Amino acid sequence: MTLLAHAIAASPPATLAPGGLRGRPMAWSETGGLGLWSTEWAPDIKLERPDALEHHRLVERICAAQPCLPVRFGTAFATADEARASLDKRAAALRAALARVAGKSELALTLLWREPSAPQRIESTAGPGRQYMETRRAEFGARESRRARAESMVEQVVGELAIERQLVWHETCTSDNVAVSLAVLVPTERAGERKAQLEQVAAGFPDVLPVLNGPWPPYTFARTE
Amino acid sequence: MKELTAEDTSLLELVDRLLNKGVVLAGEATISVAGVDLIYLGLNVVLAAVETLEKAQERRAS
């Protein structure tokens, strides 16, 4: 039997409905005041895409019942002893991360460019070599200008919502479509209010389409490395 | 440029979190769809990659 990991929590474990992934039994493997919630899995059963979404729903259920750290989907242990040994190895970092996310949820804000990037058209009578270089320079300039704009939107969001820096994670211009991908850790009881504030700030950016998600379990803020 | 809808984006953001965020513990196994490991694919390629791979797999099978 394999244990397919979902989330780490402090002991004692909360009382949860017994069904894990695909209705299989849930397991709690405890050591030194920490425990791992997982599903009793069989190594020959392949994980599919719907399992990822069901894992998300399970993590939501666990995090609603007690402070927890979501474990990256696909993590499996051959035995409960292996799971406990893995917790023991990083116990101090896991406890610190649990304290950081306790009572908090994650909101996700993605800003999508409304228009594709349009580098300045180069009209030149110069030779093909120079035209090529000028075109490359114009493309680079357009990319840098978009990156600067994306960073300025992040600054505005963080500033207007008065969010502590360590509670924000972001990336900019990760693809042609995405201007900003941002995650914020907020108190769970204020998640609705903070989401409305984020929506309001993002609605003020004319050049992007805002997409807001959450509250989710604190995936982005659960890392310990 | 393929336009992302809000629904695409929400799913991509969630899938990115499930596969690329969260605690990394020793003992990790990779998961795959259509025989290709997904765990370390990034936010902007996961969904498109899965769809493309699934279609390619169907074409190969037919």
What is the arithmetic mean of pLDDT over B18-25? 81
Asked whether residue A111 falls in the same domain as residue A97, the answer is no
The dihedral sign for the CA sequence A155, A161, A162, A164: negative
Residues of chain B contacting residue A87, judged by C-beta atoms under 8 Å apart:
25
pLDDT tens digits, A149-205: 999 999 999 999 998 888 999 999 988 889 999 999 999 999 999 999 999 999 999
pLDDT of B40:
42
> What CATH number did the domain enclosing A114 receive?
3.30.70
Q: Do A216 and B2 touch (CB under 8 A)?
A: no
Residues A87-116 pLDDT 10s: 999 999 999 999 999 999 999 999 999 988
CB contact under 8 A, B23 and A116: no
In a shared domain, residues A89 and A197: no
Query: Are A130 and A83 part of one and the same domain?
Result: no
**Higher per-residue confidence, B54 vs A168:** A168
Instruction: Give the residue on B whose Cα is nearest the Cα of A210.
Output: B6
SS (H, E, C) A101-135: HCCEEEEEEEEEECCCCCCCCCCCCCCHHHHHHHH
- 3-state secondary structure (DSSP) of residue A53: helix
A117 and A192: one domain?
yes
Which residues in A lie closer than 8 A to residue B50 (C-beta atoms)? 49
Do A133 and A92 share a structural domain?
no
Q: Nearest CA of chain B to the CA of A100: how many Å? A: 13
Cα distance from A171 to chain B (closest Cα, Å)? 11
Q: Are strands A34-41 and A26-31 parallel, antiparallel or unpaired?
A: antiparallel
d(CA A147, CA B31): 33
Count of domains observed in chain A: 2
* Interchain pair A211, B13: CB under 8 A: yes
User: Would you state the pLDDT for residue B61?
Assistant: 61
Euclidean distance between CA atoms A165 and B6, whole angstroms: 26
**Predicted interface score ipTM higher than 0.95:** no
- Verify whether the Cβ–Cβ distance B27 to A110 is below 8 Å: no
In which band, very low, low, confident or very high, does the pLDDT at A133 lie, cut at 50, 70 and 90?
Answer: confident
